[in-house]
Amino acid sequence: MDKKSLNVRIARCATEATDIVGLEFIPTDGDTLPPFTAGAHIDIAIRPDLVRQYSLCNAPSETHRYHIAVLRDPNSRGGSVAVHEELREGQTVQISYPRNHFELGDHKHTLLFAGGIGVTPIMCMAEELHRRGSSFTMHYGARSSDRAAFVDRLHASPFSENVEFHFDNGPDEQKLNLTAILRGASRDTHLYVCGPSGFIEAVKSEAAAAGWSTDRVHFEYFGAPAVDTSNDGSFEVRLARSGKAIRVEADQSIVHALACNGVKVETSCEQGVCGTCLTRVLEGEIEHRDHYLLDEEKLANNQMMICCSRSKTPLLVLDM
């Protein structure tokens, strides 16, 4: 793990819902952990060669523990299954310091949307908004209540009246009506959404249709949807500061090609969702494949995520 890291002990592993395990990490040394803000995540070295990011779901005011919840997803890249099968109470694991690419702002009113396991950063935000005394409503959608983590915790929370549950297998009147919610919101409301990509896309497109400006819509993807790479070709990147020219083969990412040539770049998700590898581009046309930059930022064609995005032109000049 490249980033500033620490060792923590797994104090508790508990089933939070069908296929969802919650893990609590406590310090191995001393009583407190580095502070974090709502929306933050940590990298966890599940094994030395398997590092994955998970959002913190406890209140940022807590300093004695980090709490995460992980959905077992056999179709993922293997991290979630390993968490379920290999991590146990009492074990010591290496994690990164918390980092936040999904910062919670200060708004007149906030709408929180959680889809399934996307509840983790959203619940942390609800805790923080409650602590601040801010006005907010949390909408929590899931296939069924037994597949929704932390339902009891939310019912028992001091902000339970701010939480609305929407279960796919429940009665029609409790179903999530995005159109009504988003069209009925005031112009100074901001929304935060996390969940499966289809859920995030639905909230984003409904917000756009309801006239929301993109600066009021904040989102975090867990993982990027699959991309068709069958037509990928090779191209060259030139590093403006060193003058180095590096070929990126059709089956390589820019980050990988750079690493093969001794240029190390800090990465985290390697799927275009976290923003860690953001790089300025000085020349060439970018083929954006990330889920981090806003549409207008992509159109500006001057920055890219070099872990996943590519080039439409034979040459890209990077500001590095």
Binding site for ligand FES (CB under 6 A): 267-270, 272-277, 290, 292, 305, 307
DSSP 132: H
228 Ramachandran zone, left/alpha/beta (phi>0; psi -120 to 50): beta
Q: Is the Cβ of residue 149 or residue 305 nearer to ligand FES in the bound state? A: 305
Query: In sequence order, what are the residues at sequence separation of 6 or more whose Cβ sits closer than 8 angstroms to the Cβ of residue 205?
Result: none
Minimum gap (Å) between residue 236 Cβ and ligand FES: 20
Minimum gap (Å) between residue 306 Cβ and ligand FES: 7
Q: Is the Cβ of residue 136 or residue 222 nearer to ligand FES in the bound state? A: 222
Q: Is the Cβ of residue 135 or residue 302 nearer to ligand FES in the bound state? A: 302
Minimum gap (Å) between residue 20 Cβ and ligand FES: 24
Minimum gap (Å) between residue 213 Cβ and ligand FES: 24
**Percent of the chain that is helix, strand, coil (3-state, to 5):** 25, 30, 45
Query: Which helix (H) or strand (E) segment is 142 a member of?
Result: strand 135-142
d(CA 298, CA 240): 21
User: What SS3 state is found at 255?
Assistant: helix
Q: Is the Cβ of residue 189 or residue 271 nearer to ligand FES in the bound state? A: 271
Q: Is the Cβ of residue 248 or residue 307 nearer to ligand FES in the bound state? A: 307
d(CA 219, CA 208): 14
d(CA 114, CA 116): 6
Minimum gap (Å) between residue 269 Cβ and ligand FES: 4
